[in-house]
A and B are shown apart, each in its own frame.
Chain A
Amino acid sequence: MGSRETNVIDCAAAVAGRILCDGAFVFADPLPAESTPDIGGWEAIGVELTFAGAESGAVSVWAGRRFISRVAANMLGADEGGERAREEGVDALGELLNMIVGNLLTELYGTEPLFNLGLPREAKRNRLASDLSERECIWFEAEGEPVLFTVQL
Protein backbone atom coordinates (compact mmCIF):
# COMPACT_ATOMS: atom_id res chain seq x y z
CA MET A 1 0.00 0.00 0.00
CA GLY A 2 1.43 3.38 -0.99
CA SER A 3 1.84 6.26 1.43
CA ARG A 4 -1.16 8.16 -0.02
CA GLU A 5 -3.45 5.18 0.44
CA THR A 6 -2.15 4.70 3.98
CA ASN A 7 -2.80 8.36 4.73
CA VAL A 8 -6.35 8.16 3.37
CA ILE A 9 -7.13 5.05 5.37
CA ASP A 10 -5.60 6.40 8.56
CA CYS A 11 -7.44 9.67 8.13
CA ALA A 12 -10.75 7.99 7.30
CA ALA A 13 -10.41 5.70 10.30
CA ALA A 14 -9.75 8.63 12.62
CA VAL A 15 -12.63 10.70 11.26
CA ALA A 16 -15.08 7.80 11.27
CA GLY A 17 -14.20 6.95 14.86
CA ARG A 18 -14.59 10.56 15.96
CA ILE A 19 -17.94 11.04 14.20
CA LEU A 20 -19.30 7.76 15.53
CA CYS A 21 -18.47 9.05 19.00
CA ASP A 22 -19.51 12.69 18.64
CA GLY A 23 -22.45 12.15 16.32
CA ALA A 24 -23.91 8.86 17.48
CA PHE A 25 -22.39 8.44 20.97
CA VAL A 26 -20.89 5.10 19.92
CA PHE A 27 -17.37 4.06 20.79
CA ALA A 28 -15.57 2.17 18.04
CA ASP A 29 -12.31 0.27 18.00
CA PRO A 30 -10.42 -1.13 15.01
CA LEU A 31 -11.51 -4.68 14.27
CA PRO A 32 -8.66 -7.08 13.53
CA ALA A 33 -8.80 -8.77 10.14
CA GLU A 34 -9.17 -12.20 11.71
CA SER A 35 -12.32 -11.03 13.53
CA THR A 36 -14.21 -9.64 10.55
CA PRO A 37 -17.48 -11.40 9.80
CA ASP A 38 -18.13 -13.94 7.10
CA ILE A 39 -19.62 -11.76 4.40
CA GLY A 40 -21.95 -14.45 3.14
CA GLY A 41 -23.71 -14.66 6.47
CA TRP A 42 -23.52 -11.03 7.49
CA GLU A 43 -26.94 -9.37 7.31
CA ALA A 44 -25.49 -5.96 6.66
CA ILE A 45 -27.25 -2.88 5.37
CA GLY A 46 -25.17 -0.42 3.38
CA VAL A 47 -25.39 3.28 2.66
CA GLU A 48 -23.23 5.04 0.10
CA LEU A 49 -22.39 8.66 -0.52
CA THR A 50 -20.54 9.93 -3.56
CA PHE A 51 -18.75 13.22 -3.93
CA ALA A 52 -17.29 15.25 -6.76
CA GLY A 53 -15.27 18.38 -7.18
CA ALA A 54 -11.56 18.83 -6.66
CA GLU A 55 -11.49 15.04 -6.21
CA SER A 56 -14.23 12.52 -6.73
CA GLY A 57 -15.02 9.29 -5.01
CA ALA A 58 -17.39 7.41 -2.77
CA VAL A 59 -17.61 6.24 0.80
CA SER A 60 -19.93 3.56 2.04
CA VAL A 61 -20.80 2.19 5.45
CA TRP A 62 -22.12 -1.29 6.16
CA ALA A 63 -23.56 -2.43 9.47
CA GLY A 64 -26.05 -4.87 10.92
CA ARG A 65 -29.59 -3.95 11.91
CA ARG A 66 -28.88 -4.00 15.63
CA PHE A 67 -26.07 -1.48 15.28
CA ILE A 68 -28.16 0.71 13.01
CA SER A 69 -31.01 0.72 15.51
CA ARG A 70 -28.55 1.58 18.28
CA VAL A 71 -27.23 4.52 16.28
CA ALA A 72 -30.72 5.80 15.55
CA ALA A 73 -31.77 5.36 19.17
CA ASN A 74 -28.72 7.24 20.43
CA MET A 75 -29.20 10.08 17.99
CA LEU A 76 -32.93 10.34 18.59
CA GLY A 77 -32.94 9.64 22.29
CA ALA A 78 -35.36 6.80 21.56
CA ASP A 79 -35.72 3.22 22.71
CA GLU A 80 -33.23 1.06 20.79
CA GLY A 81 -35.73 -1.68 20.23
CA GLY A 82 -38.53 0.69 19.43
CA GLU A 83 -40.26 1.18 16.14
CA ARG A 84 -38.86 4.68 15.65
CA ALA A 85 -35.24 3.55 15.94
CA ARG A 86 -35.86 0.72 13.48
CA GLU A 87 -37.62 2.92 10.97
CA GLU A 88 -35.13 5.77 11.08
CA GLY A 89 -32.06 3.55 11.27
CA VAL A 90 -31.01 3.79 7.65
CA ASP A 91 -31.63 7.54 7.61
CA ALA A 92 -29.52 7.91 10.74
CA LEU A 93 -26.73 5.83 9.22
CA GLY A 94 -26.86 7.95 6.09
CA GLU A 95 -26.60 11.13 8.08
CA LEU A 96 -23.61 9.76 10.00
CA LEU A 97 -21.99 8.94 6.67
CA ASN A 98 -22.73 12.47 5.49
CA MET A 99 -20.91 13.87 8.52
CA ILE A 100 -17.99 11.48 8.05
CA VAL A 101 -17.47 12.32 4.38
CA GLY A 102 -17.80 16.06 4.92
CA ASN A 103 -15.26 16.03 7.73
CA LEU A 104 -12.98 13.56 5.93
CA LEU A 105 -12.72 15.74 2.84
CA THR A 106 -11.70 18.69 4.99
CA GLU A 107 -9.11 16.58 6.82
CA LEU A 108 -7.65 15.29 3.56
CA TYR A 109 -7.78 18.39 1.38
CA GLY A 110 -8.30 21.39 3.64
CA THR A 111 -10.87 24.14 3.33
CA GLU A 112 -9.86 25.52 -0.06
CA PRO A 113 -11.21 22.92 -2.52
CA LEU A 114 -14.89 22.81 -3.37
CA PHE A 115 -16.77 19.54 -3.17
CA ASN A 116 -20.34 18.59 -3.94
CA LEU A 117 -21.65 15.78 -1.83
CA GLY A 118 -24.42 13.56 -3.08
CA LEU A 119 -27.29 12.43 -0.91
CA PRO A 120 -26.78 9.24 1.10
CA ARG A 121 -28.37 6.27 -0.69
CA GLU A 122 -29.04 2.79 0.59
CA ALA A 123 -26.79 0.35 -1.28
CA LYS A 124 -27.95 -2.95 -2.71
CA ARG A 125 -26.81 -5.91 -0.64
CA ASN A 126 -24.86 -7.39 -3.56
CA ARG A 127 -22.62 -4.29 -3.58
CA LEU A 128 -20.90 -5.46 -0.40
CA ALA A 129 -18.71 -8.01 -2.17
CA SER A 130 -17.55 -5.53 -4.80
CA ASP A 131 -16.94 -2.87 -2.14
CA LEU A 132 -14.70 -5.29 -0.27
CA SER A 133 -12.70 -6.25 -3.34
CA GLU A 134 -12.45 -2.87 -5.05
CA ARG A 135 -12.18 -0.31 -2.27
CA GLU A 136 -10.06 0.49 0.75
CA CYS A 137 -11.75 -1.05 3.77
CA ILE A 138 -11.81 0.02 7.40
CA TRP A 139 -13.34 -2.35 9.92
CA PHE A 140 -14.52 -1.27 13.34
CA GLU A 141 -16.11 -3.00 16.24
CA ALA A 142 -18.70 -0.75 17.79
CA GLU A 143 -20.99 -1.82 20.63
CA GLY A 144 -19.99 -5.41 19.94
CA GLU A 145 -20.98 -5.19 16.29
CA PRO A 146 -18.83 -5.08 13.14
CA VAL A 147 -19.03 -1.92 11.08
CA LEU A 148 -17.37 -1.55 7.70
CA PHE A 149 -16.40 1.64 5.93
CA THR A 150 -15.16 1.49 2.35
CA VAL A 151 -13.42 4.36 0.62
CA GLN A 152 -12.85 4.93 -3.08
CA LEU A 153 -10.83 7.90 -4.21
Chain B
Amino acid sequence: MVVDDSETIRSVLERTIRMTKLPVDRILEAPNGRVALTRLADDWVDIVFTDLNMPEMNGMELVDAMNADVGLSDVPVVVVSTEGSRARIESLRRKGIQGYLRKPFTPEEIRDIIVETLGAWDG
Protein backbone atom coordinates (compact mmCIF):
# COMPACT_ATOMS: atom_id res chain seq x y z
CA MET B 1 0.00 0.00 0.00
CA VAL B 2 1.15 3.50 -0.86
CA VAL B 3 -0.16 6.29 1.36
CA ASP B 4 0.45 9.89 0.28
CA ASP B 5 -1.79 12.90 -0.25
CA SER B 6 -0.01 13.61 -3.55
CA GLU B 7 -1.45 11.61 -6.44
CA THR B 8 1.80 12.27 -8.28
CA ILE B 9 3.91 10.69 -5.56
CA ARG B 10 1.57 7.71 -5.28
CA SER B 11 1.99 7.17 -9.02
CA VAL B 12 5.75 7.68 -8.85
CA LEU B 13 6.10 5.26 -5.97
CA GLU B 14 3.90 2.68 -7.63
CA ARG B 15 5.87 2.99 -10.87
CA THR B 16 9.14 2.76 -8.95
CA ILE B 17 8.01 -0.36 -7.10
CA ARG B 18 7.13 -2.03 -10.39
CA MET B 19 10.50 -0.96 -11.88
CA THR B 20 12.23 -3.06 -9.23
CA LYS B 21 11.01 -6.17 -11.08
CA LEU B 22 10.10 -7.72 -7.74
CA PRO B 23 6.98 -9.90 -7.94
CA VAL B 24 4.24 -7.46 -7.03
CA ASP B 25 0.55 -8.29 -7.24
CA ARG B 26 -1.65 -5.34 -6.41
CA ILE B 27 -0.57 -1.97 -5.07
CA LEU B 28 -3.28 -0.31 -3.03
CA GLU B 29 -3.36 3.47 -2.63
CA ALA B 30 -4.67 5.90 -0.04
CA PRO B 31 -4.49 9.71 0.15
CA ASN B 32 -4.18 9.81 3.94
CA GLY B 33 -3.95 7.63 7.01
CA ARG B 34 -7.68 7.48 7.62
CA VAL B 35 -8.44 6.07 4.17
CA ALA B 36 -5.47 3.73 4.52
CA LEU B 37 -6.92 2.23 7.70
CA THR B 38 -10.31 1.77 6.04
CA ARG B 39 -8.74 -0.10 3.16
CA LEU B 40 -6.47 -2.13 5.44
CA ALA B 41 -9.59 -3.35 7.24
CA ASP B 42 -10.62 -5.13 4.04
CA ASP B 43 -7.37 -6.01 2.35
CA TRP B 44 -4.15 -7.58 3.56
CA VAL B 45 -0.89 -5.96 2.41
CA ASP B 46 2.68 -7.10 2.82
CA ILE B 47 4.12 -3.62 3.33
CA VAL B 48 2.93 -0.03 3.72
CA PHE B 49 4.81 2.95 2.33
CA THR B 50 3.56 6.15 3.90
CA ASP B 51 4.27 9.86 3.77
CA LEU B 52 4.22 11.80 7.04
CA ASN B 53 2.62 15.12 6.23
CA MET B 54 -0.95 14.40 5.11
CA PRO B 55 -4.34 15.92 5.90
CA GLU B 56 -6.97 14.18 8.07
CA MET B 57 -4.55 11.59 9.47
CA ASN B 58 -0.83 11.99 9.07
CA GLY B 59 1.79 9.28 8.82
CA MET B 60 2.77 9.35 12.48
CA GLU B 61 -0.88 8.90 13.47
CA LEU B 62 -1.22 6.07 10.96
CA VAL B 63 1.75 4.27 12.48
CA ASP B 64 0.26 4.70 15.96
CA ALA B 65 -3.11 3.41 14.78
CA MET B 66 -1.56 0.37 13.11
CA ASN B 67 0.50 -0.40 16.21
CA ALA B 68 -2.67 -0.27 18.30
CA ASP B 69 -4.49 -2.72 16.03
CA VAL B 70 -3.55 -6.34 16.69
CA GLY B 71 -4.39 -7.17 13.08
CA LEU B 72 -2.10 -4.49 11.66
CA SER B 73 0.72 -4.20 14.18
CA ASP B 74 2.87 -6.75 12.34
CA VAL B 75 2.49 -5.11 8.92
CA PRO B 76 5.84 -3.48 8.13
CA VAL B 77 5.73 0.26 7.54
CA VAL B 78 8.28 2.28 5.59
CA VAL B 79 8.07 6.05 5.87
CA VAL B 80 8.83 8.00 2.69
CA SER B 81 9.11 11.68 3.47
CA THR B 82 11.01 14.92 3.14
CA GLU B 83 11.39 14.97 6.93
CA GLY B 84 14.95 15.64 8.04
CA SER B 85 14.64 16.01 11.80
CA ARG B 86 16.73 13.41 13.58
CA ALA B 87 14.41 13.46 16.59
CA ARG B 88 11.33 12.82 14.49
CA ILE B 89 12.97 9.99 12.57
CA GLU B 90 14.18 8.40 15.80
CA SER B 91 10.69 8.72 17.23
CA LEU B 92 9.36 6.84 14.22
CA ARG B 93 11.98 4.13 14.60
CA ARG B 94 10.99 3.72 18.26
CA LYS B 95 7.44 3.18 17.04
CA GLY B 96 8.77 0.24 15.08
CA ILE B 97 8.85 1.37 11.46
CA GLN B 98 10.88 -0.89 9.24
CA GLY B 99 12.59 1.85 7.31
CA TYR B 100 12.76 5.49 6.40
CA LEU B 101 13.44 6.90 2.94
CA ARG B 102 13.99 10.54 2.15
CA LYS B 103 12.36 12.02 -0.95
CA PRO B 104 13.42 12.01 -3.73
CA PHE B 105 14.06 8.28 -3.64
CA THR B 106 15.63 5.99 -6.21
CA PRO B 107 14.36 2.65 -7.52
CA GLU B 108 17.37 1.02 -5.88
CA GLU B 109 16.41 2.39 -2.47
CA ILE B 110 12.85 1.14 -2.88
CA ARG B 111 14.03 -2.28 -4.01
CA ASP B 112 16.56 -2.58 -1.19
CA ILE B 113 14.05 -1.67 1.49
CA ILE B 114 11.47 -4.14 0.15
CA VAL B 115 14.03 -6.95 -0.03
CA GLU B 116 15.40 -6.07 3.40
CA THR B 117 11.94 -5.92 4.93
CA LEU B 118 10.28 -8.88 3.25
CA GLY B 119 13.29 -11.02 2.46
CA ALA B 120 14.86 -11.87 -0.89
CA TRP B 121 12.63 -13.14 -3.64
CA ASP B 122 13.57 -15.68 -6.27
CA GLY B 123 13.41 -14.26 -9.78
Contact = CB atoms under 8 A, between A and B. Distances in A.
Nearest to A23: B104
8 contacts: A88-B11, A98-B6, A99-B104, A102-B82, A102-B102, A112-B86, A115-B85, A119-B53
A76 interface: yes
- The 7 A-B pairs of least Cβ separation, nearest first, read A102-B82, A106-B84, A23-B104, A111-B86, A92-B8, A95-B6, A22-B104
A25 B97 CA distance: 30
A98 B103 contact: yes
A117 B82 contact: yes
A114 B7 contact: no
A37 to B, nearest CB: 26
A146 interface: no
Contact of A119 (B11, B55, B84, B102): B55
A105 interface: yes
B55 A19 contact: no
A2 interface: no
Interface string B48-91: 00000101000000000000000000000000011111111000
A102 B87 contact: no
Contacts of A22: 104
Interface size class of B (residues with CB under 8 A): 20 to 34
A36 interface: no
Interface string B95-106: 000000011100
A19 B104 contact: yes
A91 interface: yes
A24 to B, nearest CB: 8
A102 B81 contact: yes
B84 A75 contact: no
A72 B8 contact: yes
A113 interface: yes
Contact of B11 (A19, A76, A102, A112): A76
A95 B85 CA distance: 19
Contacts of B6: 91, 94-95, 98
A32 interface: no
A113 B8 CA distance: 28
A75 B8 contact: yes
B42 to A, nearest CB: 27
B40 interface: no
Contact of A75 (B12, B82, B87): B12
B103 A111 contact: no
Given A75-B12, A119-B5, A119-B53, A99 B82 contact: yes
Interface string A10-36: 000000000100110000000000000
